[in-house]
Structure formats: structure tokens, C-alpha cells
Structure 1
């Protein structure tokens, strides 16, 4: 009874998503960047921070 359905939108019905990022201590929309800053934004590395007390990875068992 559970069917997966996908919503389909016409291009005219879509809303453009504006992406903001922090640059030099303040937030700016990526669309307002110059060519060099856009290239730098594309090369950035992203990371996920674990909450305090959460192990980074499962502990390994000692070898017998």
C-alpha cells in the first residue's frame, strides 16, 4: 500500500534556491561572487562535526 511517488514540476513552477556563505567574516549570496571567488567556493572542502561525546568511529576489537 506504500507507493513512492515523485513530484514533478514544470520549469515555470520551480523556485531558484539562493545559496549564501560566509566570506571574510560576513555572509553573502554566492550569486554575487566574482569569477575568482566562485572558483574558490567550488574548491572548498566541507566537513561534518560530531556532537561532544559521540565517537568518531566504531572502536576496533583487539587482535587475538
Structure 2
């Protein structure tokens, strides 16, 4: 659980923004998503390879 100290007279929107930034930086969102459902190691590896191929295609197109 993340705690954000809100000072007297501080806008709630600003405090929410700080909370969201802290949440994103901590990687809690990614961790929640990975724990939500189990993915077999072979599926994880396949996704990594697909992503690598896609990035390589983009880099090749950029150089051409």
C-alpha cells in the first residue's frame, strides 16, 4: 500500500497525480497483471520473440 502525505490546503488532484506516479514507478501495476493469470514459460518466450521481431522490423524500416 502506498501512502501519500497531503499537506494542508493541497489540491486533491495533485495528490492523486503523485500517487499514480509512485504507483507506476514501483512497478506494482505490472506485478498485479503478471500475478493475475499464469502464463507458461513457453508463452512468455514466444511473446518476447514476437516483440523482438517487431522492434527489429521497425529499426530496419527506419534505416532504409
TM-score by length of 2: 0.22
Say which structure, 1 or 2, has more relative contact order (CA 8 Å, 6+ apart): 2
Larger gyration radius, structure 1 or structure 2:
1
TM-score, normalisation: structure 1: 0.22
**More helix as a share of residues:** 2
**Which structure dedicates a bigger proportion of its chain to strand?**
1
